[in-house]
Amino acid sequence: MSNFLPNSLVKKLGVNPLFDTDAFIKIHEEGIRATAIRLNPNKLEDCPFPNAGQVPWCNVAYYLQDRPVFTLDPLFHAGAYYPQDASSMFIDHIIRSLKLHEGSIRALDLCAAPGGKSTLLNSSLHPESLLVANEIIKTRVTILQDNLMKWGNANTVTTNNDPAAFNRLPGYFDLMVVDAPCSGSGMFRKDADAIDEWSEANVKLCSERQQRILVESLSALNRGGYLFYSTCSYSPEENEDIVDWLLDSGDFESVEIAIEEHWGIDHTNSNKHRAHGYRFYPHKLGGEGFFIAVLKKVGEQETFNRKRIKPEKSDVPKGILDNWISDSTSFHTFLHHEDVYVFPKMYEHDLKYLQNVLYLKNAGTNVGKLSRKELIPSHALALSNHLTKDFQSVELSLEDARNYLRKENIAVDTIGESLQGWTIAIFEGKPLGWMKVLTNRINNYYPKELRIVNL
Would you list which residues are annotated within the binding site?
111-117, 135, 162, 179
b vs e for 363-390, b when ≥16 Cβ sit within 10 Å of the residue's Cβ? bbbbbbebeeeebbbbbbbbbbbbbeee
Specify the pairing of strand 51-54 against strand 81-83: unpaired
| DSSP SS3 for 430 | strand
| DSSP SS3 for 325 | strand
Q: How far apart are alpha carbons 15 and 364 in whole angstroms?
A: 49
Would you list which residues are annotated within the binding site for S-adenosyl-L-methionine?
111-117, 135, 162, 179
Phi, psi of 345 (to 5 degrees): -60, -30
The helix (H) or strand (E) run that includes residue 331 is strand 331-336
Q: Within a 10 A sphere around the Cβ of 439, how many other Cβ atoms?
A: 6
The helix (H) or strand (E) run that includes residue 276 is strand 276-280
Cite the beta strand spans of 160-273 per DSSP E.
173-179, 221-231, 252-255, 266-269
CB distance 182 to 238 below 8 Å:
yes
Q: How far apart are alpha carbons 167 and 153 in whole angstroms?
A: 26
Give the active site residues.
232
Amino acid at 116: G
Q: How far apart are alpha carbons 195 and 185 in whole angstroms?
A: 7
Amino acid at 119: T
Q: How far apart are alpha carbons 384 and 451 in whole angstroms?
A: 18
Q: What is the CA radius of gyration of the chain?
A: 23
Compute the 3-state secondary structure of the chain and give helix, strand, coil in percent, each to the nearest 5. Answer: 30, 25, 45
Q: How far apart are alpha carbons 47 and 160 in whole angstroms?
A: 33
Please state the three-class secondary structure of 374-387 as a single string.
EEEECHHHHHCCCE
Whether the ω angle into residue 48 lies within 30 degrees of 0, i.e. cis, is no
b vs e for 7-32, b when ≥16 Cβ sit within 10 Å of the residue's Cβ? eebbebbeeeeebebeebbebbeeee
